[in-house]
Structure 1
Amino acid sequence: MLDIAEELNRWVEQGRDFAVATVVAVGGSAPRRPGAALAVDADGTAIGSVSGGCVEGAVYELCRQALEDGEAVLERFGYSDDDAFAVGLTCGGIIDILVTPVRVGDPVRPVIAAGLKAAASGEAAALARIVSGPTHLVGRALLVRADGSYDNGSHDGGCYGDGSRGGGSYDSGSYRGGFGAHPELDRTVAAEAGAFLDAGRTGTLEIGEQGSRCGAPLTVLVESSVPAPRMIVFGAIDFASALVRVGKFLNYHVTVCDARPVFATRARFPEADEIVVEWPHRYLERTEVDARTVLCVLTHDAKFDVPLLQLALRLPVAYVGAMGSRRTHLDRNDRLREVGVTELELARLRSPIGLDLGARTPEETALSIAAEIVADRRGGSGVSLTGAHTPIHHDVASAPVGRIGSVA
């Protein structure tokens, strides 16, 4: 649901009633991953997608029904061998979809509204929703923030948490906030959701109704909203300009860094989020990176490359690639060994950067670099799908529908 947070946040601000259908889990081949959503408002306007078109019509009707009766429902869709025209996934997969009404006055609306607002503003937050279990709990939600606090979305005394994962309060002997069930359930789900948030993951977990492995089992969907991952492009050259455009298309926060002020200008890189005039290795020393950050070294100049890569290859980032010919690559590796870079560290370096597409132009080269980044992230081989027998989707393996699983 958080993948369409900006549009849904506007609906909330406009006071619209709507229902949202969210992919909870997938089995086999399926076009969308957990967290993908389709929403329908009271006027019949629809946004988003849960299947790329296979079951959208049926899910649309489920949303309309949820708006009428106010009931959350979990529905499974799969391939039908008996009737080629039956509602199902022609790709052969199975998806579970949670449909939740979000009407003015519904108890779940405040927490969903808070989650949508957080996601739309770029705040790190995780939205946990009960997707299966006791009927009275299905569809209930809990919002977990980056500082570990969690709340039920209201701002009139309904916020809970003491800055650690596992807040909550009692009032006159009855628990307020969260799922409205056992307080330990809130604390346990908040701790689990915090771990999902730290990793930027969306997926499901199973837990007992009282917050342990005991009691009636619940399945909880945790959707993480995190700031856009960073792409840092070192070297303000024409290839960098094309890579910035592709990086923005892939929803990265893109920084261009070069020590030469005549090249690192806003005029040359109008689409970059940030332009830094500084020696690359010095900037990398002081800037924040994480496990989703990609570093693209396009300088192919030893005085920039060697100190930069010496540092970059020791950082816990997702990808490090460097431009240059094969001769440049071999020479650069020798220089890196001379300054103490190990063979294990060198093995992390993608050089020459990009996949073999036969690219010539800056735009084609940017495409080959982006393709390698995606393949590296998703575990793809980079080979043509035509005639291949490899899976089309290479995400972190999802558990079968109904079991514990998560995806990146």
Structure 2
Amino acid sequence: MLDQAAEICRRLDAGQRVAAATVVRVEGSAPRAVGSSFVVGSDGTVAGSVSGGCVESDLVERCRGVLDGGPAHVVSYGVGDDLGGPGLTCGGTITVLVHEVSALAAGALHQVRRAAEGLDACVALDGDGRACTDDPLVTLRTPAAHPLLVVGASEHAVALTRLAATCGFAVTVLDQRPLFATKERFPDAYAVVRDWPDRWLASHPLTAAHAVAVLTHDERVDVPTLTAALASPARYVGAMGSRTTHARRVEAMRAAGVGADALARLRSPIGLDLGGSTPEEVALSILAEVVMTRHAATGRPLSTTAGPVHGR
């Protein structure tokens, strides 16, 4: 449910009632994890997913039934027994709680709003879809949104901000140029800051949760910004540029006193080798590397790996 918090709040703010189908248990291989949800508004619109699309049609009708006054209930889906019947194709089983979100107590709805704002949130639900403190059917938690600092308000930054926000990142765009650093250009950003990046970083320390993508191509900005970022505990620090630009930038940072261990943390040229060149393709390459780093994954094609696909 909390994974669809923004959608839920948008519908609630429009005066709708909202029902949700929330995964509360997973056995074996399944497309989505516990907490994944599918929501239906009283206007008939839907959002989210609890499977690869194979049980959502059944859940639409169940959610509509709840909105029509039916009780909250729990339903399980495994491999479909009948051709055309709802079921999973991956061999596992999911148990789903179908309930009305708009009927939750004020405290639980406050947690939904926290999640929608990118803050940490927690809701415990019983089998009737009510918030509870004792013996919950499921406890849903969401951490604060992953912070991503994008330095340089370029078109690549526009594409990266849009994609990263869709993937649950809280993006701060940082650029000293007022003409480029505007909320109009970056409507998906958590914040747009007009300041010299190294000056802003001096008063806004980065944490181990941060990822930093420097997309400026200007050594006057790159070198002091990367020097500050590499001195921080930020999990990911990457910089855009050709290999020639990277080599020149590294020499400038060495001259500025950046040590070998810090330079070894720098991911430049930024991104994974996906072969794309448009701003959107480059954004995908960068975000893929950020996610890979966060999960300590390999970035290899899943077809060349062994073991479970999900639940890493």
Q: TM-score, normalised by structure 2?
A: 0.77
Contact 2:207 2:233 in 1 (8 A): yes
Query: Residue in 2 aligned with 1:235?
Result: 152
Assess if the C-alpha contact under 8 Å between 2:206 and 2:229 holds in 1. Answer: no
Partners of 1:62 and 1:87 in 2: how far apart? 12
CA distance in 1, matches of 2:179, 2:108: 45
Q: Which whole-Å deviations, capped at 9, do the CAs of 1:340-394 have from their partners, x for residues lacking one?
A: 5444433332111011122334343233222322333345543445x53456856
Report the residue type matching 1:116 in the other structure: V
Long gaps (5+) in structure 2: none
Change in 2 beyond 3 A, CA 1:219/1:335? farther
Alignment partner, residue 388 of structure 1: 304
**1:257-272 equivalent positions in 2, closer than 5 A:** 257-259=174-176, 261=177, 264-266=180-182, 269-271=185-187
- Cα distance in 2 for partners of 1:130, 1:221 equals 9
Question: Aligned partners of 2:249, 2:17: CA distance in 1, in Å?
Answer: 59
In terms of fraction of residues, the more helix-rich structure is: 2
Between the aligned partners of 2:117 and 2:184, the Cα distance in structure 1 is 28
Q: For residues 74-133 of structure 1, what are the alpha-carbon distances to aligned partners after superposition, in whole Å with 9 as ceiling and x for unaligned?
A: 4332235x65555321123332222334576xxx544443333444455543212246xx
Equivalent-residue separation in structure 1 for 2:129 and 2:157 (angstroms): 46
The match for 2:109 among 110, 113, 121 is 113
Q: Distance in 2 between matches of 1:43 and 1:356?
A: 43
Matched residues, number: 311
The one of 278, 281, 286 aligned to 1:364: 281
The one-letter code matched in structure 1 to 2:131 is A
Q: Distance in 2 between matches of 1:125 and 1:328?
A: 42
Distance 2:219 2:68 in 1: 66
Q: Find the partner of 1:297 among 214, 217, 240.
A: 214
- Whichever residue aligns with residue 111 of structure 2, its letter is G
Q: Which amino acid aligns with 1:125?
A: A
Q: Find the counterpart in structure 2 of residue 33 from structure 1.
A: 33
Cross-structure match for 1:221: 139
CA shift at 1:23, angstroms? Answer: 1.2
Change (3 A) 1:288 1:72: farther
Matching residue of 2:99 = 100
Q: What is the identity percentage for the equivalent residue pairs of Structure 1 and Structure 2?
A: 42
1:237-386 paired onto structure 2 within 5 Å = 237-259=154-176, 261=177, 264-266=180-182, 269-271=185-187, 273=189, 274-287=191-204, 289-337=206-254, 339-385=256-302
Q: Is the 8 A contact 2:175 2:181 kept in 1?
A: no
Alpha-carbon deviations, 1:50-81, whole Å to 9, x = none? 2131112333454456567865444332235x
Task: Name the amino acid aligned to 1:304.
Answer: V
| Alpha-carbon distance, 1:9 to partner | 3.8
1:53 aligned partner, one-letter code: G
Give yes or no for contact 2:20–2:98 (8 Å, CA) kept in 1: yes
The 1:53–1:312 alpha-carbon spacing in structure 2 relative to 1, beyond 3 Å, is same
Please report how far the alpha carbon of residue 295 of structure 1 lies from its aligned counterpart in structure 2 after TM superposition. 0.9
Is the 1:320–1:350 contact (alpha carbons within 8 Å) kept by the matching residues of 2?
A: yes
Structure 2: distance between partners of 1:276 and 1:102: 35
CA distance in 2, matches of 1:237, 1:21: 40
- How far residue 271 of structure 1 moved from its aligned partner, in angstroms, is 3.9
Specify the SS of the correspondent of 1:141: coil
